Amino acid sequence: MKKIFYIGALFLWVINMVNAQDSSHFFSKKDLMTFGIYYYPEHWDSSEWERDIKNISDLGFQFIHIAEFSWIDMEPEEGKYDFKWLDTVIGLATKYHLKVVLGTPTSISPVWMGIKYPEIYLLNSNYQRAEHGTRGVQSLSNPVWRDFSKKIITQMGQRYGNNAAVIGWQLDNEPEGKEDYSPSSQLAFQIWLKNKYQTIAALNNAWGTAFWSQTFSDFSQIKIYNANLVGWWGTNPHALLDFKRYTADTQADFLDFQATILRSLVSKNQYVTTNYTAISAGADPRRTHKLDFNSFTSYPNKGNANIGDKGFRLGDPKELSFALSFFKQEHTNAGIMELQPGYVNWGAVNPLLEPGTVRMWLYHCFGGNLSFACSYRYRQINYSSEQYHAGIMKLDGVTLSQGGKEYQQAISEMKILLKAYNPEAKIPNEIQARKTALLWNYDNYWSMGRQGQTTQWNTLPFFQKYLEMAKSFGAPVDIVYENDNLNEYK
Binding site for a copy of itself (CB under 8 A): 40, 42-43, 69-73, 76-77, 105, 108-112, 115, 124, 126-128, 130-135, 207-208, 210-217, 221, 223, 225-226, 229-231, 233-239, 303, 343, 345-346, 348-350, 381, 383-388, 451, 453-456
The nearest distance, CB 15 to a copy of itself, in angstroms, is 37
The answer to whether 61 and 127 have CB atoms below 8 angstroms apart is no
Complex with a copy of itself: residue 212 or 426, whichever CB lies closer: 212
Is the CB of 225 or the CB of 271 nearer to a copy of itself? 225
Beta carbon of residue 350, minimum distance to a copy of itself (angstroms, whole number): 5
- Contact (CB, 8 A) for 359 and 406: yes
Least Å from the CB of residue 110 to a copy of itself: 6
In the complex with a copy of itself, the residue whose CB is nearer, 257 or 343, is 343
Secondary structure E strands in 124-195? 166-171
- DSSP lists the bridge partners of residue 379 as 393
The residue (of 349 and 420) whose beta carbon lies closer to a copy of itself is 349
* Smallest distance, a copy of itself to C-beta of residue 96, A: 23
- 211-239: string of b/e by CB count within 10 Å (b at 16+)? eeeeeeeebeebebbbbeeeeeeebbbbb
Altogether, the residues listed in the chain come to a count of 490
At residue 463, what is the residue type? F
Task: Kindly tell me which of 412 and 458 has the beta carbon lying closer to a copy of itself.
Answer: 458
Min dist CB 212 to a copy of itself, Å, is 5
Whole-number minimum distance, CB 112 to a copy of itself, in Å? Answer: 7
- CB-nearer residue toward a copy of itself: 213 or 429: 213
Find all residues with CB under 8 Å of 3, minimum gap 6, and list them. Answer: none
For a copy of itself, the closer CB: 23 or 385 = 385
SS3 of 140, please?
coil
Could you tell me the smallest distance in angstroms from the CB atom of residue 307 to a copy of itself? Answer: 19
Considering the complex, what minimum distance in angstroms separates the CB of residue 196 from a copy of itself? 16
> Of 247, 181, 250, 242, nearest to 206 (Cα)?
242
Closer Cβ to a copy of itself, 72 or 144, answer by number: 72
What is the nearest approach in angstroms of a copy of itself to the Cβ of residue 226?
6
> How far apart, in Å, do the first and last CA atoms of the chain sit?
34
Residue 228, SS3 per DSSP = helix
Provide the minimum distance between the beta carbon of 376 and a copy of itself in the complex, in angstroms, as a whole number. Answer: 13
Closer to a copy of itself by CB, 233 or 487: give it. Answer: 233
Nearer to a copy of itself among residue 218 and residue 430 (C-beta): 218
Query: Alpha helix (H) ranges present in 287-330?
Result: 311-314, 317-326
Spatial distance between the Cα atoms of 125 and 460, rounded to a whole number of angstroms: 25
DSSP string, 35-95: EEEE--GGGS-GGGHHHHHHHHHHTT--EEEE-TT-HHHH-SBTTB---HHHHHHHHHHHH
For 183, residues 6+ apart whose C-beta sits below 8 A from its C-beta are 119, 123
Do 65 and 168 meet the contact criterion of CB atoms below 8 Å apart? no
